[in-house]
Amino acid sequence: MDTQNNQFDSLKDIFKDLKNMLEKISKYGFWRRLFAWALLKDDAKKLDSKLETIQDIIGDIRIKFNDLDNLDNVKSENEALKKKVTTFENTIESETKKLTDAQNKYHIMITSHGARIEEENDKEEQKRINEENDRKVSWQTHESIVSSFIQNECMKFGFKYIGPEDFPDRKKPDNSIIIDEKYVIFDAKSPGDKEDSVAFIQGLNQKAKDQEKYAKMPNVKKDIYLVVPSNLYPDIPKKHYPLGKFEVWIITIEQISVILAHYKKTMDYEKFEGLSQEDKDALIREMGNLEFNLRYKIMVDSVFGKKFLDAIKSSKDNLPEEINDEIEKVVTDSKDNVSRKTSGKPLSLDSIEQEFNEANLLSQSRGIPTPPIKNKS
């Protein structure tokens, strides 16, 4: 800016000198002009030099103006860039806000999901604790419940019940009954107060071996039964211990009726003339094992039959009607439809349920525990 001001000052001085020189020449007369030519020539050279200086200054000014034009373009471009930057900044701010909102929502979702998972885990853990506590309560009363049940069953079948106080030995089983002048041992077993189910199940092998103290008595039958809580039975992998001269069976209270029914039936047979007492006991034991397993199979089949029947009825209730119709058509047209082969009628759900209930009633009348039959409302 200072350089530009100096140039304008120089122009003013040059124009002033030029004006003075022109005024000076205009005042010369003919003779003075004629004899002062050398002076005029010298002044003309000075004037010419000043004109060149003017041209230089004008050139510089033109360059400056060109630079100013370029500066205007830069300013214009700068303004455009500023607008773009402002737009980008606004976009970035908007996107940042969206990202922050999304992160907050994600954090809330993750926190909520984690809390829900933790709550479900807590509920599952509490459910497990409650179930374990319920099982422990049932274990605490297990011996008395088994004892009362066996006494009632003995009255029904006409057997003599022997409690621990009446057993003729210092080793006292929880329960025994007299069958054919021998004691049949039913020893109730359940976890102790500080024993969990896993430890109890693992210890059954030793508990079975411990029954030798009864088995070696001459007046005790060689089949000994350990009655365990029903809610532990499905978790027990081994339920029969053949231990040489005696055998131990792991059973539940529901199976006692089946076993007593078996013993009652064998007592109704003839006295097996010609057989020794040992052979008679062995024969009865084998027949009892066979009938016990047959009845147990019937009981298991009934349980699973009930579950399968409930599953079929559930699908009928929950699947769309058109799908049920297609399924029924496949069942009706099946070449392996048993009812169609025997009676000419298709296999229907009602007929299956009726036959299932009739079979259950027959099993229950023979002392085989089966799922309860619900009356149709």
Give the pLDDT confidence score for residue 272 in this predicted structure: 53
Looking at this protein, which amino acid is placed at residue 255? Q
Query: Which of these, 193, 190, 209, lies nearest to 201 by C-alpha position?
Result: 190
**Distance (Å, whole) CA 25 – CA 17:** 12
Q: What is the DSSP string of 163-218?
A: -GGGSSSSS--SEEEEETTEEEEEEE----TT--HHHHHHTHHHHHHHTHHHHTST
Q: What is the token pair recorded at 57? A: 């200054």
Residues paired with residue 225 on neighbouring β-strands, in sequence order: 186, 249
CA angle 228/230/232 to nearest 5° reads 75
Q: What is the DSSP string of 99-112?
A: HHHHHHHHHHHHHH
Mention every residue, 6+ apart, whose C-beta is less than 8 A from residue 199.
191
Q: What is the DSSP string of 47-89?
A: HHHHHHHHHHHHHHHHHHHHHHHHHHHHHHHHHHHHHHHHHHH
Q: How far is CA 12 from CA 8, 15, 26, 47, 64, in A?
A: 6, 5, 21, 14, 18
pLDDT averaged per 10 residues in sequence order, the chain, 377 residues: 61 69 67 62 68 70 66 72 72 75 76 83 82 66 92 93 92 91 92 82 93 93 93 89 92 92 74 63 77 74 76 80 80 59 58 72 63 57
Sign of the torsion formed by the C-alpha atoms of 118, 124, 129 and 133: positive
**Distance (Å, whole) CA 272 – CA 197:** 44
**Distance (Å, whole) CA 136 – CA 96:** 58
pTM of the shown model? 0.43
